[in-house]
Amino acid sequence: MDTAYSATHRPETFRDETFRGDFSYANSPGNIRHFPFPFHEDHYRYSVNIEPHVPGLPGSAFEHLIDVDEHYLAEMADRAQVLAEDPLRYQALPHMMLAQWDTLELLMEEQARAYPHLFTLERNGDQWRWINRPLGIDDTFTFGDPSTLPREPLDYICRQTQGDIALMDQREGNLWMDAGMITAQADWSLDFDVGMNFHEWHAPVPLAPQMGVFDRALKYLLNLQVGKPVRRLNWTMTINPRLDTSPETYPKWGPDRTTVTPENVGQKVHLRVELQSLWRLPRSNGMLFVIRGYMMRMDEVVTVPKWGRRLPRVLESLPPELAEYKGLSRYRQTTIDWLKRHDDGAPTSPGIFPD
């Protein structure tokens, strides 16, 4: 009813929905199959799972390098509301201005290339014109001159891009989170982490530091090359389709974890997945970190039989420390019990995509 798709997942209209209040967010049947289900086997195994970020299966979240879907307008409206309530969700240290322009260029190019019916980028030397049809934006500016934009370059383009954005500066053999717009995070704070290095902001994660996961990941990322972005999937669960689950707003969403019952699992409990991509930036040598979020409630997950079988098996195999870190402990067993009604015990095929 809300969205039409071609075989290549082409959003023509956008859903009128909310991520707060009445929580009217939902996925159309086509968008369910578009979802980046994060588990490629039936048990949980912690890994960095980094792979080249290249165009993938048509119709999937991997088809284009920057994904736009039916939730675009609703997500941009929610972002604007978060920023109005808490402007510190956008921060950029002064030395990151060149990386801001790198990021603006990359996000405009990728969105215009993948969705020419939605976005247009025209360039004549340093005179650029950007058209964003869904948001009704038609701006001309001088690339490299922030006075010709209504906001700083990163602030401007992040308000038009689905997903959270962090910019990292590479120095001293490390990556430093020195800029970003973070309005849909899974319980972490840009205001707290800005200026931290790679190991500092990953310090709260259990098990992985002792396994050397982050040492290996950092070594790999320090050698990332321009034009060869990489990606990985991260996941957690959330109660109600609330984008803004930041520490700053914990009093609003933390108590939701106590409201799960056997009767409301299907509607309330959501699988929350981040398609994380990392890009080396050409002028600044910085690194762009795109955290593109997706949510799907349990009664949508089980409409794909393979996912309905796999998810309870993965949740059962999750180490207790990780379940606690992800905030699942209160409702994990209730969710597993509900999901098991959709697991007939049949084997599942390898990989993340529906059969």
Q: Give average pLDDT by consecutive 10-residue segment, the chain, 355 residues.
A: 38 87 95 96 83 96 97 97 95 96 98 96 98 97 98 98 96 92 81 73 60 78 96 95 89 91 97 97 97 98 97 95 88 97 95 93
Q: How many degrees, rounded to 5, is the angle at CA 222 between CA 219 and CA 225?
A: 125
Q: How far apart are CA 202 and CA 204, in angstroms?
A: 6
Q: How far apart are CA 181 and CA 163, in angstroms?
A: 9
What dihedral do alpha carbons 202, 203, 207, 209 form, nearest 10°? 80
Can you tell me whether residue 141 is helix, strand or coil?
strand
Tokens of 197: 């290095």
C-beta of residue 130 within 8 angstroms of C-beta of residue 156: no
Angle between helices 305-316 and 332-340 (to 10 degrees): 140
Q: What does DSSP say about strands 164-171 and 51-52: parallel, antiparallel, or unpaired?
A: unpaired
- DSSP-derived letter for residue 76 is H
* Global pTM value: 0.92
What values do phi and psi take at 250, rounded to 5? -55, -40
Q: Which residues contact 147 (CB under 8 A, 6 or more apart)?
A: none
What dihedral do alpha carbons 219, 221, 223, 227 form, nearest 10°? 170
What values do phi and psi take at 28, rounded to 5? -70, 160
* Residue ranges of E strands in 74-195: 90-92, 119-124, 127-132, 137-142, 164-171, 174-181
pLDDT at 63: 96
Q: How far apart are CA 163 and CA 66, in angstroms?
A: 9
- Which of 204, 186, 160, 198 shows the shortest CA–CA distance to 289? 198
Catalytic residue among 232, 297, 330, 341: 232
C-beta of residue 180 within 8 angstroms of C-beta of residue 194: yes
Whether residue 232 lies in the annotated active site: yes
3-state helix, strand, coil in the chain (%, to 5): 35, 20, 45
